[in-house]
Amino acid sequence: MPPTTPAPAMATPAASDACYLALKARDARFDGRFFTGITSTGIYCRPVCKVRTPKRENCLFFALAAQAESAGFRPCLRCRPELAPAGAAGSDTLRPWSTQDASFILARQAAELLDEPGLWSDGTPSMANVAARLGVSERHVRRIFETHWGVSPLQYLQTRRLLMAKRLLTDTRLPVAQVAGLSGFSSVRRFNASFVEHYRLQPRQLRQKRDAQDTQDSQREPSAIVLKASYRPPYDVAAMLDFFATRLIDGVESVEPQQLTLARTLALPHGGRTLVGWVRVQFVPDACSVVFQISPSLGDVLPQVLARLRALLDLDADPWAVNAALQGDFPGFEGQRVPGCLDGFELGVRAILGQQITVKAACTLGTRLVERFGTDLPAPVGGMRRLFPTPQALAQATGDALGQIGIVRQRQRAIQALAQAVADGHLMLQPGVDIADTLAALQALPGIGPWTAQYIAMRALRWPDAFVTGDVALQKALGVRDAKNPALAAEQASERWKPWRSYAVVRAWASLAPTSTDQ
């Protein structure tokens, strides 16, 4: 069946013309914000695709890959749409983002939940639990989603699963059956049928090059699973690596600025057990991309690992939208991203340790905590040898044991309360949770105030509008430190930066020389 135009593709001819100009320029700033369906070939591409630019009359533009596939287009094997930064949740090509458009906000939140495998115990969301998380009926979610995105939630989810499968088939040695399961398919038979129906290829056809390499080197076990990801420029790689290097916990993390690499240990629950391993990321700025190396021990949770790595590095941010709101007040910091985390509980503990002390002192306490309550990585590699303590381990720790490593009583109580809440399942610290409820639950715990809760929301929950009004360094950067009420003055100044105040915080910090307070 020849490709057809879905409803909607691009909202206006002007939007389509702008997309074509970006396509001709191969402008990486628009990567993931739209996809181009080429009617003469039946293929859809990213704006950065290096093939010869098609004629304007042969181009249809789509905000989502799912829209292109619903119209009958197949993904390009050269530019690989599965590597594009996420676009549905972070920016909307069809219309300006509006806090007044409640139905679109709901559709955007549904897309975010479908994109977040870490939220679901088996890595596979369903419309029933998405609707329950949003507090509306499943029927309402389906109707709103299709109205705003032009495809059904099932079509959207199917495209995400197939693109994940295409990615794993192309880049890894994982068996086809494992790829099918990791991508969310209930059976290999259903996976094969869907792949052939949508891409007109057998899954094994993407394996030929990989299989040839395996034949040449069949006796050697791979040392890592290697995958790639892309981001939209500008991206200040040095600033991101410096942020993590300044807060490094020895034995858990390593940063090599000259090699543009960051590595650390990681533990993830899966099927009633905990998988442990390590990850390493290396930036490739010339290609606006990142190479991930993931230990084979984490192979069964690859979608969750990928989602966490993208959040850690804020790869899906849309600088275009953020800079429109912030550039006037923070010129020269357009490449700043909001550093995330791989584990929300760990970030929460580290935020508590950093209350009202220096960054260096907080790192010292973090290192002691890891040595005393963490566990060994079974196969140490590259200086990574320890795993951060689990919520259960810290919930069971005594006050005396925590005090012996220098943690004062107030923070002992805060760490133990946080650990117990997470261990019991009463608190989830990850993207996709309800922000207001989570902030309230955090501040109900002893020793956790607005600063700590907002900091956790900014980095662990990935809330773009978090704002640490009581932060001394932030107040200094904004020039309100001497105001009668600095926190109120900072809050008032931040109104014009909504909904991107997390980015304003990072840019304000970056405008200062290193300070004595933790951030």
Catalytic residue numbers read: 45, 471
CA atoms within 13 A on the CB side of 35: 33
Ramachandran angles phi, psi of 397, nearest 5°: -70, 145
| Residue 335 DSSP class | T
Q: Provide the greatest CA pair distance for the chain.
A: 73
Whether omega before 81 lies within 30 degrees of 0, making that bond cis, reads no
Ramachandran angles phi, psi of 418, nearest 5°: -65, -45
Cα 240 → chain centroid: 14
Output the six-digit token pair for 235: 């991206």
Residues with Cβ within 8 Å of residue 220, at least 6 apart in sequence: none
- 3-class DSSP assignment, residue 63: coil
> Rounded distance, CA 348 to CA 452, Å?
8
Q: Which long-range contacts (CB under 8 A, 24 or more apart) does 495-501 make?
A: 496/325, 496/329, 497/325, 497/326, 497/329, 498/99, 498/325, 498/465, 499/97, 499/99, 499/464, 499/465, 500/321, 500/322, 500/325, 500/326, 500/464, 500/465, 501/464, 501/465, 501/466, 501/467
Question: Is 494 in contact with 487 (CB distance < 8 Å)?
Answer: no
Residues with Cβ within 8 Å of residue 231, at least 6 apart in sequence: 31, 85, 288, 289, 290, 313, 315, 316, 317
Distances (CA, A) of 385 to 61, 113, 296, 381, 493: 48, 33, 16, 7, 44
The type of residue at 368 is: R
> Rounded distance, CA 29 to CA 33, Å?
8
> Rounded distance, CA 438 to CA 347, Å?
15
Could you tell me if residue 33 is left (phi over 0), alpha (psi between -120 and 50 degrees) or otherwise beta?
A: alpha
Question: Is 2 in contact with 42 (CB distance < 8 Å)?
Answer: yes
Question: Is 294 in contact with 207 (CB distance < 8 Å)?
Answer: no
